[in-house]
């Protein structure tokens, strides 16, 4: 399913990034939030979460586990807590059913 910009409006989102090349993920702020991998057409391939200060580390781990398969872009929705990241991740996985979350 293609990314829906209305997800920026979720009450748990305090800030967000634009879509970046996955190779530039190291430049992201180390905060709590949800990250998404997508292809060039913004078809969501994987959704993950990170607690406070862990977003860059969690993206690195996901890439090395192959969760970026078919993706070229990354986007982050920052939250103000790990628990908000967890609940937002659940909501977005239920909405998008990304293939790399299933395998």
How much is the pTM?
Answer: 0.95
The answer as to CATH 2.160.10.10 being correct for domain 5-102 is: no
- Please state, rounded to an integer, the average pLDDT across all residues of the chain: 96
For the chain, give the percent of residues with pLDDT over 90.
97
Report, as an integer, the average pLDDT of 8-27. Answer: 96
Query: Model confidence at 65, in pLDDT bands (50, 70, 90)?
Result: very high
Residues 6+ apart with CB under 8 A from 2: 41, 42, 43, 44
> Token pair 């690195």 is at which residue?
60
Residues 6+ apart with CB under 8 A from 20: 27, 28, 73, 74, 75
Query: Model confidence at 91, in pLDDT bands (50, 70, 90)?
Result: very high
What distance in Å separates the CA atoms of residue 53 and residue 20, rounded to the nearest whole number? 19
At 9, give phi and psi (nearest 5°). -85, -5
Give residue-wise pLDDT tens across range 31-40: 999 999 999 9
Q: What is the CA radius of gyration of the chain?
A: 12
Q: Coil, strand or helix: which one is 56?
A: helix
The answer, yes or no, to whether residue 103 has pLDDT greater than 80, is no
């Amino acid at each position: 399913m293609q990314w829906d910009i209305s997800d920026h409006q979720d009450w748990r989102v305090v800030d967000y990034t634009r879509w970046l090349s996955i190779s530039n993920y190291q430049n992201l702020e180390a905060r709590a939030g949800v990250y998404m991998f997508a292809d060039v057409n913004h078809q969501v391939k994987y959704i993950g979460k990170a607690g406070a200060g862990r977003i860059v580390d969690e993206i690195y781990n996901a890439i090395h586990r192959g969760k970026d398969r078919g993706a070229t872009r990354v986007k982050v929705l920052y939250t103000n807590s790990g628990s908000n990241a967890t609940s937002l991740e659940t909501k977005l996985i239920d909405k998008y059913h990304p293939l790399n979350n299933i395998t």
